[in-house]
Structure 1
Amino acid sequence: MSFTSLIETANLQLRRVPAWPAYPLAFGYVGWLVWLGATGGLGVEPVVALQRALGEAALYLLIAGLAVTPLRRHAGLNLLKFRRALGLSCFIFVVAHFLAWAVLDLQSLGRVWADIVKRPYITVGMAGFALLIPLALTSNNWSIRHLGARWRQLHRLTYAAALLGAVHYIMLVKGFQMRPLIFLAVILILLLLRLRPGRLAMRFQRG
């Protein structure tokens, strides 16, 4: 079987796969991580481990969402029907990550603003979180119809949110660690792949 035939077969099979199971799976994974933390399954620092696991899950889903367009453009694999579910599932993990920090770590919503101002890595992370809020609120058919071309422009904030999330992770870890850098590298590669060759050449010429 040729690569083209394989992709066509995959696209046909994917049409039969619903996107909605992503939501209960996301909530289920959050619940499972919380249960692990409560029962000693996340080690000696369960709150820190919980925050990291939730944050990494959000980054994985951000990367999956960013990969949809390059996969369709360069490989012919059509995953567009899953992009909204990926984005909203990512937001679920980001909210859970925020709550784990604010409620379980700080144990006081009143200390949130103080930490945002005091700690640069939290400032960066909260900036990424703030960018995702309007995207989550407009990830519905009503918003697509009423915003028109502005909807596509608004959802380009995903690129900045992904970069801020990766930078937040790099700033968060202690010492030199490859894992956060790999996240950032993958995000940068996917953003470059979204550029059409003609536009990329024009940008280089302008530079």
Structure 2
Amino acid sequence: MISIDESPLPNVIGFLALVSYIATLLPTTLRIVFPQTKETGIPQWLLKRRRIIGIIAFFLALGHGFLMVQKRNFDFFDIKTFWIYFQGVITFIIFMLLSITSNNWSVKKLKKNWKQLHKLTYVAMFILIWHIWDKMSGHWTYLTPISLIATTIITVLFIIRLWIERQDKQQKMATKVTKANLLEKSSK
């Protein structure tokens, strides 16, 4: 039987980081998967604030990590520590890179590479499910199922988004080919 523990402060801060992070993923996903949400203005509102929400997510993740290190008294010189907390460390590094480059100067300097770098956010999305499941198994709090459901939903929506984008791309390519064939036939 699963017992529900009380959520300690580091878990609450980690949950808030997760909610903020999911908010950064929503604008494009909502726009593509649920096009009718454009009318609500929610995707546009989130899109305008995506960078600041992402930076907030990073600082909340930093607070979560700091409190966990303090609580568990980690030995940073022990390789086992990094192996045990691999998912959290990798996700934190991704969040740090994204946070550091969430400014206009970085966009200008990195150009196309900026967009490629910020695609790491989708890697973090998959790692977070693993991180939550792995670290919380055996001592769930009331936030654990909410966190797992939220990350699973945003991940499934992301996969649906990729599928829709792929279908749209294939449809556009088919339209181009058809138009090219029509132009070729009409010129003969």
- Would you say the 8 A contact 2:75–2:81 is kept in 1? no
User: Equivalents in 2 of 1:151, 1:181: separation in Å?
Assistant: 29
User: Equivalents in 2 of 1:132, 1:50: separation in Å?
Assistant: 20
Measured after TM superposition, the shift of residue 201 of structure 1 is 7.7
Measured after TM superposition, the shift of residue 198 of structure 1 is 4.8
Who wins on radius of gyration, i.e. which is larger? 2
Q: Quick one: which of 56, 61, 65 aligns to 2:20?
A: 61
Structure 1 gaps of 5+ residues are 1-44
User: Equivalents in 2 of 1:164, 1:68: separation in Å?
Assistant: 21
TM-score for the superposition, normalised by structure 1: 0.65
| Change in CA separation of 1:84 and 1:198 when aligned onto 2, cut-off 3 Å | closer
| Change in CA separation of 1:115 and 1:200 when aligned onto 2, cut-off 3 Å | farther
Q: Does 1:115 align with 2:81?
A: yes
Structure 2 residue matching 1:195: 3-state secondary structure: helix
Question: Deviation per CA, 1:164-189, whole angstroms, max 9, x where unpaired?
Answer: 12210111113486334303312212
Q: Quick one: which of 92, 100, 105 aligns to 2:59?
A: 92
The residue aligned with 2:31 is: 72
Count of aligned pairs between the two proteins: 154
Measured after TM superposition, the shift of residue 103 of structure 1 is 2.2
Map residues 144-159 of structure 1 onto 2, 5 A cutoff. Answer: 144-159=107-122
| Change in CA separation of 1:193 and 1:102 when aligned onto 2, cut-off 3 Å | same
Structure 2 gaps of 5+ residues are 171-188
Q: Identity, % of aligned pairs? A: 29
After alignment, is 181-190 or 139-148 more displaced? 181-190
- Would you say the 8 A contact 2:129–2:152 is kept in 1? no
User: Equivalents in 2 of 1:198, 1:98: separation in Å?
Assistant: 35
User: Which one-letter code corresponds to 2:21 in the other structure?
Assistant: L
User: Equivalents in 2 of 1:201, 1:112: separation in Å?
Assistant: 49
User: Equivalents in 2 of 1:99, 1:198: separation in Å?
Assistant: 38
The residue aligned with 1:190 is: 157
Q: Does 1:140 align with 2:103?
A: yes
User: Which one-letter code corresponds to 2:127 in the other structure?
Assistant: L
Question: Deviation per CA, 1:81-115, whole angstroms, max 9, x where unpaired?
Answer: 11001100000011101110112331x56467542
Larger relative contact order, structure 1 or 2 (CA cutoff 8 Å, min sep 6) = 2
User: Which one-letter code corresponds to 1:136 in the other structure?
Assistant: S
